[in-house]
Structure 1
Amino acid sequence: MKRVTSLAVLVLAASLGGLCAQNLKPKEDPAYLKKAALQVDQFIAAFYRSKKLPVPEVTDDATFLRRAFLVSVGRIPTAEEAVAFLEIEDPTKREALIDYLLKSKGYSSHMSNWAFDLLRITDGRPGTTAHNEPYRNWVRTAMSNDMPWSEFTTSLISASGDGWDPKTAAVGYYTRDRGMPLDNLANTMRVFLGARMECAQCHDDPFGTTERHDFYELAAFTHGQDEINRAQMKPLWDELADDQEKRRQEYEAARILWDRVYGMSLSGGGSGQIKLPEDYQYKDGTPGEMVGARTPFGKGVRMSEKKEGDDGRLQLAQWIVGKTENQFPNVIANRMWKRVMGKGIYEPVDDYIPADKTVHPALVTFLGKLMMDLDYDLRAFQHVLLLTRTFQFGTNPNASVVEGGDDFHGRKIERLSSEQIWDSLITLSSGNPDKQAGRTLDDRIYFGNKPVLVGKKNMGQLSKEVLALKSETEVRAYFDKLLHEIKTASPGSDNSSAMSMSMGMAPIRNFDKDAKVRASELPSPAPREHFLYLFGASDREVVDGSSREPNVGQVLSLMNGFVQRELVNKPTAHLYKTLEGAKSDEEKIRRLYIAILNRPPTAEEMTWMQEEVKKQGEPGYRNIVSALVMSSEFLFLQ
């Protein structure tokens, strides 16, 4: 089963690394990344000495292999990848493995899951035919292209424009929460600055320092969100909405413009002024009073309450990224530390603690500076952490000695996320899932739940044309023309993928809930009956809304659902292909263990499994697969 793979080739590349590292930015320089990793380890070593803690042992190759895959790309290795790593005898192979993983497509998929959960990205929007497809694609592309976190944050918070334009599709950050601007602002502060201010929407925060007046001054930066030129269509929309039963086709066509063009756009840039609510109850303001934008901490930024502005969202973004001292870099650094090491230096990660109040001030300060030195490149930052000896320490079964945070004494055991379990099962069922083509942006125009005008016009073109209309007359004329084009389109031709390909267009790839693809490609959120939802995938209603709590349904699903149907009882599953060429029961059992648990069986386990095969024959192998996949070792990360 020994094969030469790209993973093995990377060992040689690792030994040559650094020879051409001159004049590179820190995030591109292998030598810089290794030095930074060593510095992290030195901080941890100092912590051990100060706490009189024993230094953990470095974990074995098999455990490191599985941990590195699950943390970096969100799945277990294929049997081929596992064998390639385990059979290599080279002291640099762990570094080579990390390099291999971070350059793979799987990294982007795993990071997309993280970003979708953090930003609560869903495919659709309740009560409207508007959706988040272009916004979702924008976020996925940003993760794939390593957009710096500072640029990513600025783009989201300062966004305005056409929701279908790739350059401004980040407006989905606001239009996803249309009608709930205060909730959106509270989430912004929580996600990017670790500031929990949601209580201050209604009253002074009794557990913090934020007053209601502070919150409204902050909200003034983003106030004034509206749709671009939607007022030009309102008379037509009202007319059709009042008579929709008799004019069904016209109404459905109008919804394309009303929901999926105007409803996915965002005008203005933030007025910088807002009125206090009618139920305002404190002496520092009166109900209905106009207040100007003002930041509550960091370097002060203000806008006038007397003059309406148009760049409030940009000023807010610039303040968050560059004028909150170390808070912005430290928050994202701690989020990435938890992602790699299993637990934040302080917890929860969305409730910021200044460096000098944490368990390790020097380390937190260093990590914040490292994040800035790496230009907020999250891939490079994680690369540093994955290179550390700290990441390689064996699992610590004991509770942390530091309340509310990490004691750095080995990684804690935790159940895999629903996405990690699903992606690992897909790997066993179908082979390397990252070799499959991913979901693409569906920018077709839909009418009656079917794509129309394919090859003639897409939503991007339609949106650009509609948003440029300046009067009600122009809107009505455009609408009549669009309706005529839809009605006269050749029946059936618009749904032909062959037509799209013949015109040089990339085929649309949209996966339904039954597709055997990575979690990041599936509908979001997962349907309630889906494996992902059952195992705790977020419903994307709240920030970081996923759960790893067990329930009886999970056990029943493993025993009777996808695992049995698509893996255990399916002879064509990729897992069983690894048995081809094996000449003995012992070799087959060994290959199953490496494929599922990424390690060879112990002598005692081999004896048990050989007895099972001897008693059951070929069905014995299916029993072994079932037992291993349902084991705690498979379902937990250590």
Structure 2
Amino acid sequence: MKSLHCIILSLALAVPLHGQAAKPRPQDNPEFLEKAALKIDFHIASFYRKKKLPVPDVTDDATFLRRAFLVAIGRIPTAEEALAFLEIEDENKRADLVNYLMNSKGYSSHMTNWAFDLLRLRDERTGGQANTEPYREWIRSAMDENMPWDDFVTELLTSSGNGWDPKSAAVGYYTIDKGMPLDNLSNSMRIFTGAHMECAQCHDDPFGETERRDFYHLAAFTNGQDTINERYFKKLWDEIRANNTGGSVEFDVGRLFLDRIYGMSLRGGGEGKIKLPDDYQYRDGDPGELIGAETPFGKTVRMSERKQENNGREQLADWIVNRTGPQFSSVIANRMWKRVMGKGIYEPVDEYIEASDTVYPELVTDIAKLMHELDYDLKAFQHVLLLTKTFQFATNPNPSVVAGGDDFHGRKIERLSAEQIWDSLITLSDGDPDQKPRRSVDNRIHVRYSPVLEGEMDMVQLTDEVLALQSEAEVRKYFNNFMKKLNDSGYSKSNRGKGSDMMSGMAAVTKYGKYDPVRASELPSPAPREHFLYLFGASDRLVVEGATKEPNVGQVLSLMNGYVQKKLVGNSDAHIYKSLEGASSDMEKIRRLYVAILNRPPSEEEMGWMLDEVKNQGEEGFRNIVSALVMSSEFLFLQ
């Protein structure tokens, strides 16, 4: 096995292959990251002195190993990775491990789960055939490429065009909420600025400062979104529906055009003006009154209701990213702090609090500055946090002793997320899951869930051609030619549903009760109700960050009778049993099982219990040990 040191060295020596050297960035300088981590630790030490709190102990190597893996890449280490780290005698090995993790494929997989949950990514849209596969892949690619957060947000808020084109697939951020632009806007404000404005859609917020008129001023920036040229298809679609008798092929193709071509496109840069709703009830405006766009806080940005403009979304994105003071950077910095440290400096993380009103104003101010200094590089920011002594402090099972926030006194114990448990289980059953093939976008054209015209054209080409049509006559002619091409290919009603398991690449995985040993970020979103992920609280992606870690009886039954028993405990080919090959004694086998599952060696007392189990049960005893350790609280919780 390649040692962890060898892997880290190869990463450290890696150089860009481009002809021209890239501009130096602070996040590329290890010394900058170390100094930034040290500055955070100074803040925490100062906090201890002010609050007269003792300095916590630093956790042991085994706990740090497991914690770092689960926090940085969302899974436990493989048996090989765990042994490599625990057996290294090097004072820098913790920093080396962090570098190894932050440069691994697992980092982007774990971040993808976070982004899917934050953005409510669902593979399919209710009420039609539209899906979000290209949008899903755009998010995944952004996490792979470590797109800066400010660029990521700007792309989401300003993109227009063909939803199947990788360059404009970010339009899925709006089309996923088609018909609900006000809900989309309130989610944007909550996610990106920590401002809760959802109540103001209907009335002045009784718990905040936002008035209903303020919300509509803001909504004016995004008003005027529409699909591209769908109006040219409307009359033909009405005729197809009127003539549809029992689900004709023509009807199926019409749905393809309506849902998966027009319905996944977006035009309209934001008019900057909007009418107040017909039920508007306050004296500061009249029902139906036209008002211009205006921002409610930060630097004021206005658009006139008297002008015809089409760049409101660009102005909104620029305001959110650049003109809300420290709010934008503070919210995402606090989100990342919670992701690494287990609890936000201020809670909830989706509700912005000014630094002066938090438990530690100086720390909040400095992490917001650091985020800006790192050019919104979320990977580099998390790398800094992982290098701190604060991250290494021993687990603290007690609640915070400081009112209104965290006491930074060691990581609080929390149950793993559904995705962390799943990804850890498949690590045990199948080895390093980051080496497996990834889910890819299925760009094939599907008519009633059956792929057609394979090898001739795909959805990107078809959508480009259809959206470019500039009249009803052109659309009608193209539609008829497409029907002829389809008929000439031999497609008919009898073909419907054939090959549907391949409809969305791996979208059918688990749809029929199957378990595929790939990471959670590669599985359907949201997870099917019968899947392990759903049972353990994965988000249904209907609301922002809708996951839960609440226990239930079904989880226990699943561990006792489901995937764990079928694919792990009772599977002789499971990776965990392969890790026992070459072990010279029962003691060594037990030690390897502990290191693989709990990422630490057993205590003397535990070793005695397990040796008795193997003595009494023979080879079956090792399976019982695996079952007991996987169902233990130590496996299911992060310390």
Question: What is the distance in 1 between the residues matched to 2:496 and 2:386?
Answer: 48
Q: 1:247 to 1:53 in 2, by over 3 A?
A: closer
Question: What is the distance in 1 between the residues matched to 2:156 and 2:8?
Answer: 39
In structure 1, the partner of 2:350 is 350
Deviations 1:359-415 (A, max 9, x none): 111111111111011110100000000011111000011101233422111111000
Return the offset for 1:158.
1.0
In structure 1, the partner of 2:334 is 334
Q: 2:5 aligns with which of 8, 17, 22?
A: 8
Establish whether residue 571 from structure 1 lines up as the match of residue 568 from structure 2: no
Establish whether residue 31 from structure 1 lines up as the match of residue 28 from structure 2: no
Residues matched between the structures, number: 625
Question: What is the distance in 2 between the residues matched to 1:428 and 1:491?
Answer: 45
Check conservation: 1:454, 1:494, Cα contact below 8 A: no
Listed as ranges, the matches of 1:446-465 within 5 Å are 446-465=446-465
Question: What is the distance in 1 between the residues matched to 2:566 and 2:45?
Answer: 48
Return the offset for 1:511.
5.7
Establish whether residue 624 from structure 1 lines up as the match of residue 625 from structure 2: yes
Listed as ranges, the matches of 1:416-565 within 5 Å are 416-489=416-489, 512-513=509-510, 514-565=515-566
Question: What is the distance in 1 between the residues matched to 2:243 and 2:548?
Answer: 45
Return the offset for 1:510.
5.1
In structure 2, the partner of 1:597 is 598
Deviations 1:407-442 (A, max 9, x none): 111111000000000000000010000000101111
Question: What is the distance in 2 between the residues matched to 1:171 and 1:444?
Answer: 20
Listed as ranges, the matches of 1:355-366 within 5 Å are 355-366=355-366
Q: 1:484 to 1:404 in 2, by over 3 A?
A: farther
Q: 1:409 to 1:482 in 2, by over 3 A?
A: same
Deviations 1:172-206 (A, max 9, x none): 00000001111000000000000001000111111
Deviations 1:430-480 (A, max 9, x none): 000000010111111001311111111110011100000001111011111
Partner SS state of residue 274, structure 2: strand
Return the offset for 1:307.
2.3
Question: What is the distance in 2 between the residues matched to 1:230 and 1:280?
Answer: 31
Establish whether residue 384 from structure 1 lines up as the match of residue 381 from structure 2: no
Question: What is the distance in 2 between the residues matched to 1:213 and 1:235?
Answer: 37
Q: 1:286 to 1:466 in 2, by over 3 A?
A: same
Q: Which amino acid aligns with 1:52?
A: K
Please list every run of at least 4 consecutive aligned residues from structure 1 whose deviation after the TM superposition is greater than 3 angstroms: 10-18, 490-497, 507-511
Identity of aligned residues (%): 65
Deviations 1:534-570 (A, max 9, x none): 0000000000100001111111111111111111111
Question: What is the distance in 2 between the residues matched to 1:557 and 1:85?
Answer: 32
Deviations 1:221-249 (A, max 9, x none): 11111100000000011111122225610
Establish whether residue 77 from structure 1 lines up as the match of residue 77 from structure 2: yes
In structure 1, the partner of 2:239 is 239
Question: What is the distance in 1 between the residues matched to 2:191 and 2:489?
Answer: 46
Q: 1:574 to 1:10 in 2, by over 3 A?
A: closer
Q: Give the RMSD, CA atoms, in angstroms.
A: 2.1
Listed as ranges, the matches of 1:156-195 within 5 Å are 156-195=156-195
Deviations 1:92-133 (A, max 9, x none): 111111111111111010000000000000000110100111
In structure 1, the partner of 2:197 is 197
In structure 2, the partner of 1:587 is 588
Question: What is the distance in 2 between the residues matched to 1:250 and 1:462?
Answer: 16
Q: Which amino acid aligns with 2:61?
A: D
Partner SS state of residue 446, structure 2: strand
Q: Which amino acid aligns with 1:289?
A: E
Return the offset for 1:487.
2.0
Listed as ranges, the matches of 1:260-339 within 5 Å are 260-339=260-339
Q: 1:243 to 1:23 in 2, by over 3 A?
A: closer
Q: 1:491 to 1:219 in 2, by over 3 A?
A: closer
In structure 2, the partner of 1:402 is 402
Question: What is the distance in 1 between the residues matched to 2:306 and 2:23?
Answer: 51
Question: What is the distance in 1 between the residues matched to 2:2 and 2:441?
Answer: 36
In structure 2, the partner of 1:504 is none
Q: Which amino acid aligns with 1:601?
A: P
* TM-score of the two chains, using structure 1 as the length reference: 0.95
Q: 1:508 to 1:120 in 2, by over 3 A?
A: closer
Q: 1:23 to 1:307 in 2, by over 3 A?
A: closer
Question: What is the distance in 1 between the residues matched to 2:7 and 2:2?
Answer: 11
Deviations 1:252-283 (A, max 9, x none): 01111111010000111011111111111111
In structure 1, the partner of 2:18 is none
Partner SS state of residue 544, structure 1: coil
Question: What is the distance in 1 between the residues matched to 2:11 and 2:139?
Answer: 31
Question: What is the distance in 2 between the residues matched to 1:163 and 1:424?
Answer: 34
In structure 2, the partner of 1:503 is none
Check conservation: 2:358, 2:404, Cα contact below 8 A: no
Partner SS state of residue 352, structure 1: coil
Question: What is the distance in 1 between the residues matched to 2:301 and 2:112?
Answer: 33
Partner SS state of residue 261, structure 1: helix
Partner SS state of residue 254, structure 1: helix
Return the offset for 1:12.
5.1
* TM-score of the two chains, using structure 2 as the length reference: 0.95
Question: What is the distance in 1 between the residues matched to 2:389 and 2:246?
Answer: 70
Q: 1:494 to 1:527 in 2, by over 3 A?
A: closer
Question: What is the distance in 1 between the residues matched to 2:264 and 2:638?
Answer: 40
